[in-house]
């Protein structure tokens, strides 16, 4: 089992020097990846289902991960997640391909359909068709990354007679990780994702989601080119060595620890505790 860190663009890590030191410390401790969250805007005043107060700093994922890339050598750089239907997929494909090139092939693109209707309204993006937009955007980005003469024609995205260089370093394009636990998200992960990501899920919730993925496999086909579906989960706070072993027994490939600490000292303690107690339990 591998370990990631969620929050390299949030909390204390919204400060550039803290983010750089944290990324280096994670790499030295044996973590394999850093992950970002995303909200372009937040409702003010905070109201359901918003997860954060409007003053919470969310650095742009691609910018924050490029900063982390510049201060590390091996960490994978993951968006966990980008709200895909809010983005122009061609612009996003360029941003993530650029991250992959600058980092030497370390990018992971985590995507989700989103849930914060106030954010969609502010951005002028229809909320009702976000699932269909997400599916189409994934297909369009893969076409742009992999086709010798990129072309795609869908309901929301259509292009031909273009090219976009540079392409990602990673063969087949940047791996795409699909977040979410709705039936549509689970089918999307099976049909279109290199991986699936579950956020703030204890072992029981994780087991339930994995059963949902098995059900989705009976409903949609999985292209062989995608390979095995990699499972990443962010557990709730309080994870111990026994918990690590429970997740491992379920078949989880990566635990992405929650790192939303308000100051650098708490981040250091989190990393030190994980290095001493959690990473050894996964070996």
The residues spanned by each domain of the chain are: 2-281
CA distance 243 to 265: 24
Per-residue confidence (pLDDT) for residue 186, from 0 to 100: 98
pTM for the full model?
A: 0.97
Whether 230 has a pLDDT exceeding 90, the answer reads: yes
Per-residue confidence (pLDDT) for residue 262, from 0 to 100: 85
Q: 243 — phi, psi (to 5°)? A: -65, -40
CATH architecture of 2-281: Alpha-Beta Barrel (3.20)
Span 177-203, pLDDT tens digits? 999 999 999 999 999 999 999 999 999
Whether 283 has a pLDDT exceeding 90, the answer reads: no
Find out whether 116 and 127 touch, Cβ atoms under 8 Å: no
With CA atoms as reference, report the closest residue to 257 among 38, 32, 93, 60: 32
Per-residue confidence (pLDDT) for residue 219, from 0 to 100: 97
Span 135-174, pLDDT tens digits? 999 999 999 999 999 999 999 999 999 999 999 999 999 9
């Amino acid at each position: 089992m591998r370990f990631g860190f969620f929050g390299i663009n949030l909390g204390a890590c919204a400060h550039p020097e803290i983010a750089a030191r944290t990324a280096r410390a994670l790499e030295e401790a044996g973590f394999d990846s850093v992950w970002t969250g995303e909200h372009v805007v937040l409702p003010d005043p905070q109201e359901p289902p918003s997860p954060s107060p409007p003053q919470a700093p969310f650095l742009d994922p691609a910018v924050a991960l490029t900063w982390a890339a510049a201060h590390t050598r091996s960490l994978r750089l993951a968006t966990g997640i980008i709200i895909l239907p809010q983005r122009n997929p061609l612009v996003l494909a360029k941003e993530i391909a650029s991250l992959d090139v600058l980092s030497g092939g370390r990018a992971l693109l985590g995507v989700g359909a989103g849930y914060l209707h106030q954010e969609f309204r502010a951005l002028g993006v229809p909320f009702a068709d976000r699932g269909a937009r997400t599916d189409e955007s994934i297909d369009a980005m893969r076409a742009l990354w992999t086709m010798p003469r990129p072309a795609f024609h869908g309901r929301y995205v259509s292009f031909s007679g273009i090219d976009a260089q540079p392409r990602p370093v990673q063969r087949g394009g940047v791996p795409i990780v699909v977040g979410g636990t709705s039936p549509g998200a689970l089918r999307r992960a099976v049909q279109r994702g290199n991986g699936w990501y579950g956020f703030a899920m204890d072992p029981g919730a994780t087991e339930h989601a994995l059963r949902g993925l098995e059900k989705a496999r009976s409903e949609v086909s999985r292209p062989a080119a995608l390979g095995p579906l990699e499972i990443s989960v962010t557990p709730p706070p309080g994870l111990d060595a026994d918990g690590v072993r429970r997740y491992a027994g379920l078949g989880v490939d990566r635990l992405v620890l929650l790192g939303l600490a308000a100051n650098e000292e708490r981040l250091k303690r989190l990393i030190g505790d994980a290095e001493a107690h959690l990473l050894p339990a996964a070996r």
